Amino acid sequence: MEKISGVANEDKISRRTIIKLGISIGIGLSGIAAAGCTGQVSPSAVSSPAGLAELTQYEGQRLDPMKNIRVNSIKGTQHIEADKYSIGVGGLVDMPKKYSYSDLVNRSSLKKVVTLHCVEGWDATALWEGFPLKGLLDEAGIKPGAKTVIFYAQDGDSTSFSLDDIRAQFFLVAHKINNVPLTAEHGYPTRLVAGEKWGYKWLKWITRIELSDQEYKGYWETRGYSNNGDLNKSFLA
Ligand SMILES: Nc1nc2c(c(=O)[nH]1)N[C@H]1C(S)=C(S)[C@@H](COP(=O)(O)O)O[C@H]1N2
Ligand SMILES: [Mo]
């Protein structure tokens, strides 16, 4: 399965066209899956670009290998070196923090099979591993009045969530997928896994997390996409 990369410089209209395309591609893919391509990945491990073995299933659930997962990036893949990487936590917090890559991967982690749904009409199911976002925010101490959590990424993408959603839903800052580290294409060193939100809110290459008392609209949200990004609702604002 070929990667379809790049949604650079799309406006709302062209993205709508792509959504339609995505739906027809989706139909195409399910045909292929029935023919044994995407749907029939062997239960043994497949090889990731790093040469590590990706799990192909977990607790009875079939996992999509990274090479089969499409790549969407507003400015192309970001290549970030682990030793130069950190996530800053700031804004309305008692103690602004900075976490290095080793700080992040050494936090106690958990894993869960979660499906990413892109508005273009495709999805990807994988085993995501990382640490829960809530713990990180509590460590910094959320100041009273904070109601929005804003995420910024290396490529200029950004998004936000209400603090209520962060508290009530499952958010993971993931550094592994299918039991291997993320590739650059899929967000290395870390990306967000937001199971109840559309894919455009699963920010890759996270660099900063900010607590705010204001509403905030990120890259896609200022281009017509719903700000809460709830999967069970229309993604059009
Ligand atoms: N930093 C950043 N994160 C991003 C994007 C992006 O362009 N930049 N694209 C988003 C979109 S639209 C989707 S559907 C998912 C796709 O994730 P994938 O490329 O790992 O499949 O990433 C999201 N996160
Ligand atoms: Mo997307």
Give bridge partners of residue 161 from the DSSP assignment: 149
Q: What is the pLDDT of residues 32-48, one digit of tens each?
A: 222 222 333 333 455 55
Q: Give the C-alpha separation, 127 to 48, whole Å.
A: 14
Atom 6 of ligand 1, residue of closest alpha carbon:
73
Q: What band does 104 get if pLDDT is binned at 50, 70 and 90? A: very high
How many angstroms separate the CA atoms of 16 and 65, rounded?
27
For 190-205, write each residue's pLDDT tens digit: 999 999 999 999 999 9
Residue 132 has pLDDT above 80, yes or no: yes
Q: Which residue lies with its CA nearest to atom 15 of ligand 1? A: 199
Instruction: Give the model confidence (pLDDT) of 171-192 as tens digits.
Output: 999 999 999 999 999 999 999 9
Q: At a CB cut-off of 8 Å and minimum separation 6, what does 113 contact? A: 58, 59, 61, 63, 125, 126, 127, 128
Q: What is the mean pLDDT of residues 209-230?
A: 98
Pocket of ligand 1 contains residue 89 by CB under 6 Å: no
pLDDT single digits (tens) 143-154: 999 999 999 999
Query: Which residues crowd ion ligand 2, with CB under 5 Å?
Result: 72, 118, 199-200
**CB-neighbour burial class of residue 211 (10 A; exposed 0-12, middle 13-18, buried 19+):** buried
pLDDT of residue 32: 27
Q: Which amino acid is at 185?
A: E
pLDDT score recorded for residue 46: 56
CB distance 77 to 10 below 8 Å: no
Q: Report residue 52's pLDDT band, with 50, 70 and 90 as the boundaries.
A: confident
pLDDT of residue 45: 52
Is pLDDT above 90 for 116?
A: yes
Confirm or reject: Cβ of 218 under 6 Å from ligand 1: no
The rounded mean pLDDT for the chain is: 85
Domain 9-43+56-223 sits in CATH 3.90.420.10: yes
User: Ligand 1 atom 12: the closest Cα is on which residue?
Assistant: 200
Closest by CA to 108, choosing from 86, 88, 135, 81, is 135
C-alpha to C-alpha distance for 170 and 172, rounded to whole angstroms: 7
pLDDT given for residue 16 in this prediction? 43
Q: Is the pLDDT of residue 207 over 90?
A: yes
Residue type, position 69, single letter: I
**How far does the centroid of ligand 1 lie from the alpha carbon of residue 73, in Å?**
5
For residues 122-131, give the mean pLDDT: 98
Helix or strand holding residue 142 (H, E): none
Sign, CA dihedral 165-166-169-174, equals positive
Q: What pLDDT sits at residue 27?
A: 35
For the chain, domain boundaries:
9-43+56-223
Sign of CA dihedral 2, 110, 231, 161: negative
